[in-house]
């Protein structure tokens, strides 16, 4: 049996056994896993970042298609599925940045109401129109700055360079759009120290199976494969050498006039991580269990159980020299996203960011889920290095059993396959994690095109 055949069998067993579920102990809350900083503390961390200005990289997953942003349009065009979302879009069409991409004739027809709703919607999504739904989300114009239209790739660069003028940027993208993305970035005419791109490694793609357990075959009679989720990007992240890496999603970017809260948040999170590593180095210079407990009381980066099991200087060193991350957490207002929880795995209690799909439907687990006060908006300052800045092999810190089982429809056939442990879920399972409450204004995702009408995406 070849290695590939062995891999098929391993995945088949995982896909058709009961999916792994995380055992929740309790949600992380303020004072119990989540830290709420006072203004004076925030200033101290901001000052630390501004004073030391370490080299940083932004790591921005940006391969997502923009098609989901327009799903309600496709529902209307295919099924005449009328909705309030359609009414909102049509009523406020002139407020969207992409409206400026229509030629003058089209704008006049829209203004004079001489085009039907169907015709307007097709101008937005059809290939003969703007064809916006075929682009990656990062290439869709989000905002207007004067007469300039800015997409998320451009605005991520502008925000990041304001934070640190020597920041480096790494985007994970769809390979077929790389040239167009580069052209878009070049339009800024802004000098950036380093911009790099990578793609989700196709070798990580999962095998798709029919419901009867058979391997689904593609048209060329080879096993059909699906991308294995954003957890595959841990291999891309592992190639970044900087000690401080700022991780955020491509669509979480505010209008240029509304950027200040997000930039302040980044400075605070980075300052916290820098201070944590500095204090951890001091402990390693003179290892002490009491000093470790004091550090943990301040940063709440691991469970008391983990601390109490430590009995030697080597174990203190092993604990502190894991990769570390500061994760912003916003108050849960019903938006989708992973939540911060204390969980138990093989008798070990740890802090994790957990997705709803990882949680059992047992009533006690559902009750804990519903008590969660915060969720993860993917504002993460990560250090893929040890306490002294030496790069760590991130592959050694993945919980490979925190995979997901996905059910999809492929050309009319029901299929099942596994996704790898999520990038900020199981792929970072063994990291030292510090959760900090951050303001909602630092998080403005665009899941639907109508989200661009919300205050964070408008200059006023």
CB 372 within 8 A of CB 340: yes
* Mean pLDDT, rounded, for 184-207: 92
What phi, psi does 364 have (nearest 5°)?
A: -65, -35
| Strand 143-145, strand 148-150: pairing | antiparallel
CB 302 within 8 A of CB 348: no
Write the DSSP string, 211-263. TTSPBPB-TTSSBPEE---GGGGHHHHTT---SEEEEE-TT----GGG-HHHH
Q: Rounding to the nearest 10 degrees, give the CA dihedral for residues 121, 123, 128, 133.
A: -60
Chain position carrying tokens 């929740």: 24
* Mean pLDDT, rounded, for 378-407: 95
Residue 146: the pLDDT is 87
Distance of alpha carbon 229 from alpha carbon 227, whole angstroms = 6
Q: Is 245 left (phi over 0), alpha (psi -120 to 50) or beta?
A: beta
CB 428 within 8 A of CB 325: yes
Distance of alpha carbon 447 from alpha carbon 440, whole angstroms = 16
- Report the 10 Å Cβ neighbour count for 115: 15
Distance of alpha carbon 166 from alpha carbon 163, whole angstroms = 9
Residue 335: the pLDDT is 63
Distance of alpha carbon 365 from alpha carbon 333, whole angstroms = 20
Chain position carrying tokens 């923009």: 66
Residue 312 clears pLDDT 80, i.e. is over it: yes
Look up residue 347 and give its two tokens. Answer: 């008798």
User: Which letter does DSSP use for residue 327 in this model?
Assistant: E
Residue 4: the pLDDT is 84
* Mean pLDDT, rounded, for 415-433: 95
Residue 297: the pLDDT is 97
Distance of alpha carbon 158 from alpha carbon 341, whole angstroms = 34
pTM: 0.94
Residue 213: the pLDDT is 92
Question: Between vectors from CA 34 to CA 366 and to CA 247, what angle results, nearest 5°?
Answer: 95
DSSP three-state, residue 200: coil
CB 169 within 8 A of CB 157: yes
End-to-end CA distance of the chain: 64
Express each pLDDT in 264-311 by its tens digit: 999 999 999 999 999 999 999 999 999 999 999 999 999 999 999 998
Tell me how long the chain is: 460
What phi, psi does 92 have (nearest 5°)?
A: -110, 20
Express each pLDDT in 4-52 by its tens digit: 889 999 999 999 988 788 999 999 999 999 999 999 999 999 999 999 9
Look up residue 260 and give its two tokens. Answer: 């200040």
* Mean pLDDT, rounded, for 84-95: 96
Distance of alpha carbon 252 from alpha carbon 155, whole angstroms = 10
DSSP three-state, residue 374: strand
Confidence category of residue 191, pLDDT binned at 50, 70, 90: confident
The residues with which 436 forms a beta bridge, in sequence order, are 35, 328
Helices (H) and strands (E) in the chain, counts: 14, 20
Confidence category of residue 189, pLDDT binned at 50, 70, 90: confident
Of residues 228, 214, 211, the one with CA closest to residue 414? 211
Express each pLDDT in 210-236 by its tens digit: 999 999 998 888 999 999 999 999 999
* Mean pLDDT, rounded, for 76-88: 90
Name 133's Cβ contacts closer than 8 Å, sequence gap at least 6: 66, 67, 69, 70, 73, 74, 124, 125
Of residues 36, 27, 15, the one with CA closest to residue 439? 36
Distance of alpha carbon 209 from alpha carbon 415, whole angstroms = 5
């Amino acid at each position: 049996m070849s290695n590939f055949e062995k891999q098929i069998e391993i995945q088949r067993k995982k896909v058709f056994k009961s999916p792994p579920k995380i055992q929740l102990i309790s949600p992380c809350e303020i004072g119990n896993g989540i830290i709420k900083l006072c203004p004076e503390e925030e200033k101290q961390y901001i000052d630390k970042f501004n004073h030391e200005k370490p080299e940083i990289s932004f790591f921005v997953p940006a391969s997502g298609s923009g098609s989901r942003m327009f799903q309600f349009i496709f529902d209307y065009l295919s099924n005449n599925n009328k909705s309030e979302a359609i009414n909102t879009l049509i009523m406020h069409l002139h407020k969207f940045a992409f409206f400026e991409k229509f030629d003058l004739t089209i704008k006049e027809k829209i203004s004079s109401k001489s085009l039907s709703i169907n015709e307007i919607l097709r101008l937005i999504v059809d290939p003969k129109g703007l064809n916006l739904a075929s682009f990656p989300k990062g290439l869709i114009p989000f905002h207007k700055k004067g007469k300039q239209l800015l997409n998320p790739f451009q605005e991520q660069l502008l925000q990041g360079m304001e934070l640190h003028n020597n920041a480096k940027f790494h985007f994970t993208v769809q390979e077929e759009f790389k040239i167009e993305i580069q052209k878009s970035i070049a339009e800024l005419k802004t000098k950036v120290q380093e911009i790099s791109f990578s793609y989700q490694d196709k070798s990580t793609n999962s095998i798709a199976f029919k419901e009867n357990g058979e391997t689904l075959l593609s048209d060329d009679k080879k096993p059909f494969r699906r991308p294995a989720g954003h957890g595959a990007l841990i291999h891309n992240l592992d190639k970044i050498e900087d000690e401080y890496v700022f991780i955020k999603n491509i669509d979480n970017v505010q209008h240029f006039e509304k950027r200040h809260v997000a930039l302040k948040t980044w400075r605070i999170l980075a300052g916290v991580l820098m201070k944590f590593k500095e204090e951890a180095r001091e402990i390693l210079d003179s290892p002490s269990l009491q000093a470790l407990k004091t550090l943990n009381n301040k940063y709440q980066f691991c469970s008391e159980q983990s601390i109490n099991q430590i009995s030697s200087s080597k174990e203190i060193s092993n604990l502190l020299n894991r990769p570390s991350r500061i994760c912003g957490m916003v108050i849960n207002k019903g938006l989708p996203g992973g939540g911060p929880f204390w969980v138990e795995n093989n008798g070990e209690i740890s802090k994790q960011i957990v997705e709803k799909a990882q949680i059992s439907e047992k009533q006690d687990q559902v009750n804990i889920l519903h008590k969660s006060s915060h969720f993860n908006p993917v504002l993460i300052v990560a250090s893929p290095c040890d306490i002294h800045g030496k790069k760590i092999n991130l592959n050694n810190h993945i919980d490979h059993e925190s995979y997901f089982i996905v059910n999809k429809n492929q050309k009319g056939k029901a299929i099942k396959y596994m996704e790898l442990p999520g990038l900020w879920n199981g792929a970072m399972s063994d990291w030292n994690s510090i959760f900090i409450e951050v303001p909602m204004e630092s998080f403005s995702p665009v899941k639907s095109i109508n989200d661009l009408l919300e205050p964070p995406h408008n200059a006023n």
